Chains A and B, each alone.
Chain A
Amino acid sequence: MTALEVRCRWLLLAYPAAYRRVRAEEILGTLLETTPAGRTWPLARDCWALILGGLQARAAQNRRLSTRTNLRLATLLGCVIYLCFAAYSLLGMNLWYGDFGQPAFAVGVLLAMVLLLARPTGRGITSAGKAVAIAAVIAGTTVAVVAMPKNVITLLLIPEVLLVLAALALLSHGTERLPRLWLWLPGLMVAIAALAPLARALSFPQYVNLLVPSPSWYVWAAIGAAAAAWIRVDARPAVGVAAFLGLEAATRLINAWTSTLVTPPATWSARVASAWDSMLAYRMDMIWSFAWKLFAVALALAVLSAWPLRRQAML
């Protein structure tokens, strides 16, 4: 295989796999014939046209399903991102404190999610798989709550995670599955969540907790922008990211608010109790100022993708 052919094959990856199976050899043949002899790279305009053509073929391929199915898959993607990110948070924030109850819960949730999404028969999850998924979640939840957690704040995350998992179970019924390409998105989210503390540790070396994920809202906005740029090809990831950001913002707000409801124990002195109150109020302020930005990005994405999503089903 010549260097030119290798590079052409790389460019052909812009096309969806199903399309490549049928047409790749033909397109490659034409490309090699039309490229002037002696070149090791295809012409610039050929590169550009291949990328555009690939994206267009992807867009055409994505116009097969009804709006209803598209919405279902998009929301499913949002749930998957949410659960992956929440599981990473629970693992990172608790392993650091030496708590193992909530990481057990996170592992149970991830296992249940994988079982619900992976359907080797193509007809839905088997009853044995269902039983294992439910058992894993119940065991994880029990361990998380009973194992005397040192980090009480993240316990608040459990009801929301269970709710989203239930939504995922409901949405995962149906013949259409998540496109495999989309599984990059949750992976990207978790990679970013893992990178954020690393970046912080580099600027504040004395603060070495490498596991607590707290990406700034710019990171989420950048992911939103990438999903928005993809709308022309497929509007569903944008809807999925919007769903994730909305859920994430709502979770943060609900948790900040419920933590303010905890009344300080009567044994605390008035001074400590008032310091506790002002700490919670400060935390609520901070989370609110973060959450509204997430809501804004989610809303912008939802507005941008609403019409293309509908159009995607009509063409």
Chain B
Amino acid sequence: MLRRTRRQSFQAIENQLQANRSRIRFMLQLCVRCAMCAESCFLYRTSGRDPRLMPSHKMLNSVGTLYRRRGKASQEELEAIRKILWHRCVLCMRCYCPLGVDIPGIIALGRSMCRTQDLYRRYDGSDLKP
């Protein structure tokens, strides 16, 4: 079986970051951290208004983190990002940003990056066990 090395895996994320660098940088600059997107997320509204479920929080702590670290995140950080991207967002695309930040687009991009590390939602529920 062909197994990729850690270096090659990072390279896959770095390539995606590089290809979308202008877009990610623009969105991170466009987000003014006003938290006005919070109420537009149904998961946020139905889960005790946990700030971690705000669309902007999810974007900044997933793709934002990967961008700041230039793709070099630890396994634990990647796992945390995976949980944000799949367990705290269903990509319903209903989130509203007063400034027009393309939050679903960035979340989808983050999922694409995670898939290069074989990180995604396990539909057998095995990823929900502690």
A and B interact physically: no
Task: Name B's A-contacting residues (CB within 8 A).
Answer: none
Task: Name A's B-contacting residues (CB within 8 A).
Answer: none
